[in-house]
Amino acid sequence: MTIEVGGRLPEATFCRMGAEGPELVQLSDLTRGRKVVLFALPGAYTGPCSTIHMPSFVRTADAFRAKGVADIFCIAVNDPFVLKAWGEATGATAAGIGLLGDADGSYTRALEMDFTAPPIGLHGRSNRYALVLEDGVITAANVDKPGVCDISVGEALLAKL
């Protein structure tokens, strides 16, 4: 599937950490009737994900909300336990960024956004992208080239609003 403005993402079930532990959530339930930011990255605790990508959305979270964004979600090919710890470590949780686990990478593969980099131990991970969705429709999209982290950062997406 091609990620493009005017398109819709396929339905997906993600796992996140809820008040009672891991819980499943549908993408359509998170986006229906709302303006949301959705961004994806290779994984928790990985280099640029922890030092560039996530911090950019922590920094811009309030500015997105000031522009009418109801929620910000990050998708990573990780389990909800790792994502919970990473959210706390990066300040994402405190900034109100929801962390969604695509633990088996099925959603990432459905978008044809997966990549594998054996020399650095990454298998079936997500390429970086950042989207604005309004009622499930993509209204802004920034997709980085594999191995790059520049146009999918918070500031670049915010400039499109």
Q: How far apart are CA 74 and CA 64, in angstroms?
A: 14
| Cα dist from 89 to 15, 34, 72, 121, 150, whole Å | 19, 28, 17, 22, 22
Residue among 15, 49, 74, 149 flagged as catalytic = 49
Cβ within 8 Å of residue 62, ≥6 positions away: none
Q: Report the candidate in 2, 8, 12, 6 with the shortest Cα–Cα distance to residue 136.
A: 8
- Dist. CA 58–CA 99, nearest whole Å: 12
Tell me the C-alpha distance between 161 and 101, whole Å.
Answer: 26
> Is-catalytic flag, 49?
yes
Residues designated catalytic? 49
